[in-house]
Amino acid sequence: MTVCAGACRSLAGLAALVLASAAVGSYPASAQAPVLAQGETLLQLSAEGRSDAVPDLAIMSAGVVTAGETVAAAMAANNAAAARIVAEAKAGGVEDRDVQTQRINVSPRFAGEDGGARAPRVPGDDPPRITGYVASNAVEIRIRDLDRASALIGEVFAAGANSVNGPDFVLQDDEEAARDARADAIATLRAEAEDYAAALGKRVARIVFIGDHRRGSGDEGRVVITGSRIAGGRYSAAPAAPTPLEAGSLEVSTRVWGDFVLAD
């Protein structure tokens, strides 16, 4: 009996040592592994934190499509309309830096396209006849005064735009929201560590690592902002009344990792 008790004690001690060694073994050689005492266990966790923030920027795209018998005629009409859109946006308080041309396109228009899809070609037919050209221009407008977003949609239509896409509401300065999300993640992390400790009949003795990435791995903490426009969308004709826009809120999330030492 004495020999068995001694053997059992040795096996119990070996099991504790193996558990601690397995946890420490998850650290790369380049990182300093925590030193665990007899009866201590290393607990590695991650948690996600979230916070809500009010958008501070609206982004929309205003487009204009024009037609002409020649490339020059189509482009001249398009350039004039695009210039009016840009001028109207700037007159409405949009800064020069917040207006950017996205794309310009010119394409031929063929006979038969005015009334619908062009009929498929039959071998031996004459080449398609070009009857004119279509030019398009899209301008991105960044609106920092969100109270002006609704009125600006109507103004760019009045200036000559025949399509508007957006607005998308975004968050430029996410530092405060990211701090709140990080604090939420750390609080969740600590609560989970306490839950694990209680379930194992142990206590959280100390924290040996907290960070926004896991050492020795490819995991990296990122601040993620999610949300969508509440009202708005794509318009191909000027709205009859001011477009109702609600910026709503955006969710900011981030993930943190933590290592806790549990003790009896």
Beta bridge partners of 141: 60, 99
Q: Is residue 26 part of a domain?
A: no
Q: Where are the alpha helices (DSSP H) in 94-237?
A: 149-159, 175-199
Last residue of a domain, one of 148, 170, 192: 170
Q: Are residues 192 and 134 in the same domain?
A: no
Last residue of a domain, one of 126, 152, 170: 170
Q: Are residues 94 and 41 in the same domain?
A: no
Rounded to whole angstroms, the Cα distance separating 257 from 204 reads: 16
pLDDT of residue 5: 36
Rounded to whole angstroms, the Cα distance separating 251 from 178 reads: 10
Q: Are residues 62 and 165 in the same domain?
A: yes
Contact 197, 41 (CB under 8 A): no
Q: What CATH number has the domain bearing residue 74?
A: 3.30.70.2970
Q: Are residues 207 and 190 in the same domain?
A: yes
pLDDT of residue 118: 55
Look up the domain containing 42 and give its range: 37-53+174-236+246-263
Single-letter amino acid code for the residue at 222: R
The continuous run of DSSP H or E covering 244 comes out as none
- Domain total for the chain? 2
Q: Are residues 160 and 221 in the same domain?
A: no
Q: Is residue 254 part of a domain?
A: yes
Q: Are residues 259 and 186 in the same domain?
A: yes
Q: Are residues 76 and 100 in the same domain?
A: yes
Cα Rg for the chain, rounded, in angstroms?
A: 32
Dihedral (CA of 25, 27, 30, 34) sign: negative
Tell how far CA 146 is from the center of its chain: 20
Beta bridge partners of 250: 53
Q: What's the pTM?
A: 0.65
Q: Are residues 99 and 186 in the same domain?
A: no
Q: Is residue 121 part of a domain?
A: yes
pLDDT of residue 259: 95
What is the block-wise mean pLDDT of the chain (264 residues), using blocks of 10 residues? Answer: 34 35 44 79 94 91 94 95 94 94 92 60 69 94 91 89 88 90 95 96 94 58 49 49 75 93 94
Structure tokens at 177: 């929201």
Q: What CATH number has the domain bearing residue 194?
A: 3.30.110.170
